[in-house]
Amino acid sequence: MKLVILDRDGVINFDSAQYIKNPAEWKPIPGALEAISRLNHADYKVVVATNQSGIGRGLFDMDTLNAIHEKMYEALAAAGGRIDAIFYCPHPADSDCDCRKPKPGLFKQIAACLNARLEGVPAIGDSLRDLEAAAAVGCQPILVLTGKGEKTQEEAMPKNTLVFADLAAAVDHLLAGDDA
C-alpha cells in the first residue's frame, strides 16, 4: 500500500493563529486539492494527522469540526480527490496525551488502523512538531513552506527532512520518484 500522511492546517488549507473554528474559515491553499487528487490517482492512500486543540479549548465542538471536514471533502471531490481518513488530537497543548504531535500517537493510530508499516512513508507538515512526530515512527519527514513552514525551516529539523515550497511541489517530487 502506498500511503502519505498530511497535516491539515498550513498544508492543505491556510492556517490561522486564531485556529480554523468554522467552515467559512477553511480555505484551501492553491494547488493543494489538485495535489491530493494526483496522489489519489497514483494509488496513494491519503491520511490526515492533525492537532485540533480548539476542541479541548472549547473554541469549537465536534459538529463544527465535522462540518469543516465536510467542506474539505466536498472541495476535494470537486477537484477529483479524497482523504481516506482523518486522525486528530482534540486535546489542548498542556495535555499529557500521547496523540498530540510532536508525540507519535496519531501516527501509531494510523499504523494500527491501516495495518501499515510507517518506515519511509512520506509525512508532510509545516511545523516542527509534524516533522518530529513523523521521524519518531520512521516516516520520511517533509516540510512545506506554506503555513508555519518558513519559520520552521529556521529550526533544527529531523535529519533527512525534505523541503518543498508547498504540497503541490512535494507531490511532484513523490510522483517523480514513483516513475523512476
Q: Is 7 a catalytic residue?
A: yes
Q: Are 44 and 104 in contact (CB under 8 A)?
A: no
Catalytic residue check, 9: yes
The residue from 7, 15, 126, 166 that is catalytic is 7
DSSP 7-26: -SBTTTB---TT---SGGG-
Sheet containing 85-89: give its strands across: 85-89, 44-51, 2-6, 122-125, 140-144, 162-164
| SS3 state at 128 | helix
Q: Which residues are catalytic?
A: 7, 9
